[in-house]
Chains A and B, each alone.
Chain A
Amino acid sequence: MIRAAGTILRKDLLLELRTKEAVPAMTLFTITVYVLFHFGLDRNSLDGDLASGVLWVTLLLAAVIGVTRLFAAEREQGGIDALLLAPVDRTALFVAKASALFLFLVVVELVALPAYDLLLLGPGLGGTLPELPLILLLGNVGIAAVGALVAALAAETRTRELIVPLMLLPLLVPLLISCAQATEPLMRSEQGPEDLGRWLGLLTLYDVVFVLVSVAVFDFLLED
């Protein structure tokens, strides 16, 4: 199963490297949203809860683009039939798609966070260093699990561009709460009390629940 997942993942990454569809669009989108927030809030620099909220809302909106494109190549080129005919467990397909989304998000964040520091963030990224990567990591796992599930659910509908954001964003609310609350103390100008443990705990619970649910129901999607 791991080998099958690895093969599909390699195919997806190769495809992304050659077509450059999802990741550059997601990155460009995050920068655009920063500009929108700059004008919308009329602020030159952000800190504290505003900074962490803007960062996480931007990342979630960028994830919507990634999720919409997750099954795009298979659908448009008809490769989905070949994938489904292959004697591969659906769980392998889920693992591959979720890992692809996870890696896309990591690449986007590698660009989006320095850009955030440069454009909007007041206190600087230095103060967030040991904790923020951990929060991002756990957040990405949750987004990847829910995103792969939503992408597969929406793949067979006529109105998938509408279904993806409408379904994905409410499902991500608990993740947004825990990520934004965990990031908020790291982005304050003056250090204050933190409650990292509770939010990381909630985030881990969210990840575990949705990875399990997605693995359990993925077998019933993308049949025939």
Chain B
Amino acid sequence: MFSKGLAPLAIATVVTLTAAFTLVFFYAPLDADQGFVQKIFYIHVPMAIVALGGFVAGGIFGIRHLRSGDSSWDLRSYVAIHLSIILGLGVLVTGAIWAKASWGHYWVWDEPVLVSFLVVFLLYCVYFPLRFAIEDPERQARYSSVFAIAAGAFVPLNFTAVRLAEAFTHPRVLSQTGGDLPGEMRLTFLVTLAGMTLLFVTLWKLELTAKHASMQLKKLRRRRAERREAVAA
């Protein structure tokens, strides 16, 4: 059900990621200020964008689940949020390394994007305790979708608020997100972003396939046990 097109997708991911890393190390020029350390940008920023996209996608799948009542949408939402949390941890770690290398501190409170990301990450960490504290599977799916929707709406709001709070004392230009990067850097960045997105989608499909297969297996086992009981009776 979920495994369709997984193999070509996996090949595309490997190719794009290989190309992306080749570009990062052999094509993109060294940053004039920061030198080699700036290369972490090509991991950190695409990862952050994909993680936030995954959180928002989780909310959209949640809406589809509540609209249709089809629990496979809840599974999609759950896996998307799960993967985004893992990527989110990567974002915080790479962000801290980059901050240490370029500003001398592992954590910088007046970097609004990093701070907003931490708040969003903390909120989504509650998804698992919430989901697994509800036993009834149908209710679990419904409540998780409600959480995914509320949190998905929270993401842009939180970014606005934190940015406003900092913009006051630290006016910043939007230079990180690719607005005014030199051409070679921008190309490299776009390829790494595509690679990271493909990686996310591949892992998402793989995890969905695995979860779906183990659910099917459980169902079959239960049916076999029931039949044995019937035969024994």
Interface of B is mostly: helix
A196-221 toward B: CB 8 Å interface, digit per residue (1/0)? 00100010011001100110110011
- A132 interfacial contact with B, CB 8 Å: no
- Cβ contact within 8 Å between B129 and A162: yes
- Cβ contact within 8 Å between A156 and B134: yes
- B191 interfacial contact with A, CB 8 Å: no
Closest A residue to B165 using CB positions: A177
- Cβ contact within 8 Å between A213 and B162: no
Interface-side segment among A13-21, A38-46, A67-75, A164-172: A164-172
- A191 interfacial contact with B, CB 8 Å: no
B134 to chain A, nearest CB (A): 5
B115 to chain A, nearest CB (A): 9
CA distance A170 to B229 in the complex (A): 50
Partner of A153, one of B120, B146, B161: B146
Tally of contact residues, A, Cβ under 8 A: 34
Interface-side segment among B47-55, B93-101, B151-159: B151-159
Q: Which residues of chain A from 170 to 190 have any CB-CB distance to chain B below 8 Å in the complex?
A: 170-171, 173-174, 177-178, 181
Tally of contact residues, B, Cβ under 8 A: 31
- Chain B CB within 10 Å — which of A178, A213, A221 has the most? A213
- Cβ contact within 8 Å between A158 and B133: yes
CA distance A157 to B140 in the complex (A): 9
* Contact (A217, B134) CB under 8 Å given A173-B161, A181-B165: no
- B186 interfacial contact with A, CB 8 Å: no
- Cβ contact within 8 Å between B142 and A173: no
Chain B residues in 8 Å Cβ range of A174: 154, 157-158, 160-162
A219 to chain B, nearest CB (A): 9
- Cβ contact within 8 Å between A220 and B157: no
Chain A residues in 8 Å Cβ range of B129: 159, 162-163, 166
CA distance A167 to B153 in the complex (A): 14
CA distance A224 to B154 in the complex (A): 28
Instruction: Give B contacts to A, CB under 8 Å.
Output: 66, 119-120, 122-123, 125-126, 129-130, 133-135, 139, 142-143, 145-147, 149-151, 153-154, 157-158, 160-162, 164-165, 168
